[in-house]
Chains A and B, each alone.
Chain A
């Protein structure tokens, strides 16, 4: 990729035709509410290292499935087809290894209902290690921590006033020993009350498990932070969007509270998969890929920079669109809401998502969680800000090499066409400060930082937590299997009955091990040709990432380790 340059400094007469040639391979699929790239184009390759990691993940999954069938005592609807050495190589050569190595075994006969929490380890994990969260999941401390370092870690917001739809009181707050002498009104005024809500999910129909109903909820949860700052203490949950016909539960409500926690987690995790993960990383970046491939020459500096951050994205997105999120496929098996409703929810959320309002510092400020004096340890926030700033500074130094002033930005016809495509065709809302155009260097730096952060760190934070936090289903269920609780006095049996059956737990482990098991490419590593003019700038970025790695390692000595934004664990792109 010699001679990286902006178009006004490129004398080539074929540049425009070359862009159009590449663009022919990147056409939009408009079957859904939002445009998506139809298929892989000339710049999307199958990296053998990715194939290798995928295959290794499959071997682990298959090994565990084999042991599950043999040792769990569960009887599955479908047989695990035995591996035959005769056709193994041809199976692998012809593709479709997923069906072979990580098949859905169907439901358990006569029922997969767990009898105890222990069943979720003893009948599910054999040759895959039980994740650490299994030993600490059943506590309010961990429940609060999930919103700060779990799979969906940027949803918690400061409460400014008590919502009419969620009428929490002093009594609720004082149900937690640490707040026995506190006052809700004072705590609100002091900015110490936080909440998470998923009320929009009330519009989604429930999905179905073949052996019975499953449920999705639209809950509210409230949290308090002690005076002087600290962690999140959950103190109130309402399992539906409005108070009519509902009670608000507190930690004093025993197993009813635990079922209410399940309701919150189910909704939060359904939202994670469908909105935060699929919609706001995969599908958002898809539109950025399309605009880049279709409007920037491969020698354009922004194409050259972003290319590494788009490695494998189209490949995995096409697979997700045509397989994973379709009726009867894996996502439907796992999540609580109807799959077609979920597709719409994902698309709706992606189209409504303001690109500019979600730059990491902006979002954290908007949600009232930027200040470190109240929620003192918020692993996602604390680590994401470090990485965001490092990416921002790297992109700044890169942009300054290629654009000497803001006028050059405005005169770059490819760049302006790129912004117009992302806004008008890709339907990215608020793509920069002047959507449809790039105003100046700062605008470009912010846009590109957001693309890189979303493709790399943000996706890492929401993808790899699937392995550490979600494979042990009681810690992070994706659906409920009994209606939201009414009244009080529920038992341990009721709590376990609300959790997914073991066939879902087995399939969850298989699918999420696959998704979290491929960590391919690394933030800060680029193709050598791209680095020719920016060697010193890139070296500074790499050193900065190494510093951040050390800082996070130090932080992890003082908190439940949060590893997902350690730079060495952040892939450069969404490729799984």
Chain B
């Protein structure tokens, strides 16, 4: 419970500090900030038990998300959610889902891949 609470606070404050980037250049622009990598990596660590040396997966996912054709929800639609009161949770869900949709996670789950990797397409 303590971990969940601290994560919420962390995400909330991080999103707040990122609001300038959101306002000025949208979610895609925010993804380019150091905040983004940190937050995405923390989410991945929590949900997929990534180790510190797997930070490249967060970088890879961010690169993928910055290519609008490669993610499933339009940046505009997603931004509308972020602007809502559940923005932090939405971001967390989004990162989890896009990681599953953009990596070898399902293949690993299915026993057909041995290493977590971000897919290029």
Q: Which residues of A contact B (CB under 8 A)?
A: 46-48, 51-52, 55-56, 59-60, 63, 66-67, 82-86, 88-89, 92-93, 126-127
Q: Which 3 A-B pairs have the closest CB atoms?
A: A48-B107, A59-B72, A85-B92
Residues of B within 8 A of A59 (CB): 72-73, 97-98, 101
Q: Which residues of B contact A (CB under 8 A)?
A: 4, 43, 47-48, 72-74, 77, 81, 86, 89-90, 92-93, 96-98, 100-101, 104, 106-107, 109-110, 112-113, 119
B72–A88 touching, CB < 8 Å: no
Residues of B within 8 A of A93 (CB): 109
Interface of B is mostly: helix
Residues of A within 8 A of B109 (CB): 93
B106–A52 touching, CB < 8 Å: yes
Using A48-B106, A59-B72, A85-B89 as known contacts, say yes or no to A67 and B96 having CB atoms under 8 A apart. no
Question: Pick the contact of B89 from A55, A60, A67, A84 — CB < 8 Å?
Answer: A84
Residues of A within 8 A of B77 (CB): 63, 67, 126-127
Residues of A within 8 A of B86 (CB): 82
A127–B73 touching, CB < 8 Å: yes
Residues of A within 8 A of B104 (CB): 48
A59 to B100 Cα, complex, angstroms: 11
Closest to B93 in A: A83
Question: Pick the contact of A92 from B72, B73, B92, B100 — CB < 8 Å?
Answer: B100
A270 to B47 Cα, complex, angstroms: 43
B47–A55 touching, CB < 8 Å: no
Question: Pick the contact of A88 from B96, B112, B113 — CB < 8 Å?
Answer: B96
Further pairs besides A55-B106, A59-B72, A127-B73: 11, Cβ < 8 Å: A48-B107, A51-B106, A52-B106, A55-B97, A59-B73, A59-B97, A59-B101, A63-B73, A83-B89, A86-B4, A89-B48
B93–A48 touching, CB < 8 Å: no
Q: How far is the CB of B49 from chain A (nearest CB, A)?
A: 10
B47–A89 touching, CB < 8 Å: yes
16 residue pairs of the A-B complex, CB under 8 angstroms, read A47-B112, A51-B107, A51-B110, A55-B100, A55-B101, A56-B72, A59-B97, A59-B98, A63-B77, A83-B89, A85-B43, A85-B92, A89-B48, A89-B96, A92-B100, A127-B77
Q: How far is the CB of B68 from chain A (nearest CB, A)?
A: 13
A89 to B81 Cα, complex, angstroms: 20
A82 to B90 Cα, complex, angstroms: 10
Residues of B within 8 A of A126 (CB): 77
Q: How far is the CB of A157 from chain B (nearest CB, A)?
A: 42
Residues of B within 8 A of A67 (CB): 77
B106–A88 touching, CB < 8 Å: no
Q: How far is the CB of B6 from chain A (nearest CB, A)?
A: 14
Closest to B73 in A: A63
Q: How far is the CB of B7 from chain A (nearest CB, A)?
A: 9
A63 to B93 Cα, complex, angstroms: 12
Closest to B96 in A: A88
A46–B110 touching, CB < 8 Å: yes
Q: How far is the CB of A371 from chain B (nearest CB, A)?
A: 43
Q: How far is the CB of A509 from chain B (nearest CB, A)?
A: 15
Q: How far is the CB of B106 from chain A (nearest CB, A)?
A: 4
A254 to B121 Cα, complex, angstroms: 49
Q: How far is the CB of A93 from chain B (nearest CB, A)?
A: 6
B97–A88 touching, CB < 8 Å: yes
Using A51-B106, A59-B73, A63-B72 as known contacts, say yes or no to A85 and B101 having CB atoms under 8 A apart. no
Residues of A within 8 A of B4 (CB): 86
Query: In this complex, which of B4, B89, B100, B107 has the most chain A Cβ atoms within 10 angstroms of its Cβ?
Result: B100
Q: How far is the CB of B36 from chain A (nearest CB, A)?
A: 17
B110–A127 touching, CB < 8 Å: no
Question: Pick the contact of B47 from A48, A60, A83, A85 — CB < 8 Å?
Answer: A85
Residues of B within 8 A of A66 (CB): 81
Closest to A49 in B: B107
Residues of B within 8 A of A55 (CB): 97, 100-101, 106
A299 to B110 Cα, complex, angstroms: 26
A85 to B3 Cα, complex, angstroms: 14
A52 to B48 Cα, complex, angstroms: 17
Question: Pick the contact of A52 from B47, B81, B96, B101 — CB < 8 Å?
Answer: B101
Closest to B78 in A: A63
Question: Pick the contact of B74 from A47, A52, A85, A127 — CB < 8 Å?
Answer: A127
A60–B48 touching, CB < 8 Å: no
Q: How far is the CB of B8 from chain A (nearest CB, A)?
A: 10
Closest to A89 in B: B47
